[in-house]
Amino acid sequence: MSLPAAAMDAAQRVAALCREIEGHEHAYYVLDRPSIPDVEYDKLFAELQALEAAYPDLLTPDSPTQRVGGKPLPGFSPVPHAVPMLSIRTETDTEPSGARAFDARVRRELGLGESDPAIEYAAELKFDGLAINLRYANGVLVQAATRGDGETGEDVTQNIRTVHCIPLRLRGDAPPLLEVRGEVFMSRPEFERYNEKQRVLGRATLVNPRNAAAGSIRQLDPAMAAERSLSFYAYGLGEVGGWALPATHGGVLDALAARGLPVCEHRAVVTGADGLIAFHSRIRKERDGLPFDIDGVVYKVNSLALQQRLGFVTREPRWAVAHKYPAEEALTTVEAIEVQVGRTGAITPVARLAPVFVGGVTVTNATLHNEAEARRKDVRIGDTVIVRRAGDVIPEVVSVMLERRPTKDLFGAEPLHAAYELPKTCPVCGSAIERPEDEAIARCTGGLFCPAQRKQALLHFAGRRAMDIEGLGDKLVEQLVDGGIVRTPADIYKLGLLKIVALERMAEKSAANILAAIEKSKATTLARFIFALGIRNVGEATAKDLARHFGSLDGLITADAERLQQVPDVGPVVAASIARFFAQPHNVEVIEQLRAAGVSWPAGAPSALANSPIAGKTFVLTGTLPTLTRDEAKDMIEALGGKVAGSVSKKTDYVVAGAEAGSKLDKAQTLGVSILDEMHFRELISS
């Protein structure tokens, strides 16, 4: 029986929409290159939902609409693993000797002598998330399961469908059966974004990104899992049928990436112990800049034939090892709880700690975020606490060891210290502290009257990514504010040599250098100026979006909340903050004083990027350029709609290389990426 014409048309349209949406999702979530605006994507998605609602028989398990989460589950069904999901041995020696020990073991097991060639290894990152097995039948995702005990996991298919970077259908020639193993994780930016949202709503926050990933995937309600933006990287195989495997582990990962699965770009094929040590050292330096947590790297013998020869011992592969980095969590005690006053007046409780070495640095204080968070965790003076530091994230108190809490007597019935309460007045200026009903953050009401806010606002204004006034640091700002010389950013441009020289420990040459830096800062960009104003909720990225959208400061100042929300990633909260800022006469007055002092930027227009030769292109900067600093080159690229990445990959369009370019230049040459020196870079920009 043939389908009616309308149904046939619908089936063709559904198939076309699925292909188109899958392509856009791959570009957005895997390649990090959005191919269409969000509003256009939403239209396609809504059309697909409408067609599937009208023709239920056309709804398939691999439809993009199945990512939004289904009905809550009564529980998770057990899933036996056809190929056990075994753990790998951990090398806790964080020094180069740990890598040498692994290489020596492998060579010994293979019976190799000193004169035999070095072994080739695949080196990867050790992600701090939740191990997952994805089962594809003829290219379609049919099941996802956790590791469990290695033999049996839990069916979490509905929740895994909400992870947008995991393809519901593989690309290209998919084998009849393919199990892909990898790690689900939450990136640091998403973790902070989610927790900030929870704090604003007065809800419980997530402890750390790893717990966030594991807790999200094991939610019985898939809709809750969908609220938390998770990511995934593939790193291996489970059961495979009907596929001639590549000869190496690196080849396997390349093949998975070609089929649309996310594979981390931070991997390498290296030779011998020296290659492992170099990889471990390089990733250790780059670790803080990664957008996700790792706790080490993983080494695997690259040859699958050698892996088979080496086999397993006590359920661990002889051919792989995890080489750790220093722990990022540690125990210490709370010596005091104080508050910090931010540049926007935000009052943040801070735990002063007995010094503890964690995450590669000595930590002496940790944020408690806000009063509600401090009370929820019940952090008190004298408590023994777990402190976490991951990358460049501010150290925070994760939890309290209640069994170690000091008490007033031997029976332990009453704690020695009371529960924490926020002070009623600002510790800096004495102004009242208030917390709006719809916010979790309390704020000092002193505004620019409060020296703490004034100092932080000026430091932010002069910062490297803002107005970039070299030399205007903490000590100098403190003297200028405490001496009543500078009250607003506009006062910076009224400074003269005599006023600066009169400050403590200020030589005439240093004063002249500062004045030269102030004069130089007058020539800036609109994005930097907007960011420098310190508008609440407006970070560097949002400032750039605002500058691109409006093209002029006057257009931004006069925009209402509705127009502001037309800017990408500007929602009601951010729009309200911007509108409130420009509604204050004293803020506009300071801006006018700054413009009168000569602060300016190149004129632009919202459509200026339309003909930009680099809009949407990805650049990597490496080495030292003859006349441009890295920040100056980055500003030039971003002003024309380009993007600057930290590492070279297949997604890189151009590498701008200067003196001592190093490994990034080598990788660009290997991948065939276009390489520019400063002269050709300037030619491209000016075109």
Q: List, by residue number, the catalytic residues.
A: 126
The one-letter amino acid at 366: A
Give SS3 for 624. Answer: strand
Are residues 339 and 423 in contact, defined by beta-carbon separation less than 8 angstroms? yes
Dist. CA 656–CA 652, nearest whole Å: 11
Contact 419, 378 (CB under 8 A): yes
Residue 121 and residue 300: Cα distance in Å, rounded? 5
User: Can you read off the two tokens belonging to residue 443?
Assistant: 């704020």
User: What CA–CA distance (Å, rounded) separates 554 from 604?
Assistant: 12
The residue type found at 556 is L
> What region does 447 belong to: left with phi over 0, alpha with psi -120 to 50, or beta?
left
Structure tokens, 242: 């009907």
Q: Which residues of 492-514 are buried (b: 16+ CB within 10 A; e: fewer)?
A: bbebeeebbeeeeebeeeebeeb
Give me the sign of the Cα torsion angle 271, 272, 274, 276.
positive
Question: In terms of Cα–Cα distance, which of 153, 185, 171, 21 is closest to 143?
Answer: 153
**3-state SS, residue 379:** coil
Phi, psi (degrees; rounded to nearest 5) at 120: -90, 130
Nearest-angstrom CA–CA distance, 491 and 479: 14
DSSP code string of 433-492: EE--TT-S-EEETTGGGSHHHHHHHHHHHHSTTTT--TT--HHHHHHHHHTTS-SSHHHH
Q: Which residues contact 491 (CB under 8 A, 6 or more apart)?
A: 485
Q: Residue with structure tokens 């803080």? A: 288
User: Comparing C-alpha atoms, which of 527, 552, 554, 560 is closest to residue 541?
Assistant: 527
648 contact partners, CB below 8 Å, separation of at least 6: 620, 655, 664, 667, 668, 671, 673
**How many residues does this entry show for the chain?**
687
Residue 24: enclosing H or E segment and its boundaries? Answer: helix 5-25
Contact (CB, 8 A) for 334 and 400? no
What is the C-alpha separation between 390 and 486, in angstroms, rounded? 36
Q: How far is CA 498 from CA 494, 508, 512, 514, 515, in A?
A: 12, 9, 10, 12, 11
Three-class secondary structure of residue 500 per DSSP: helix
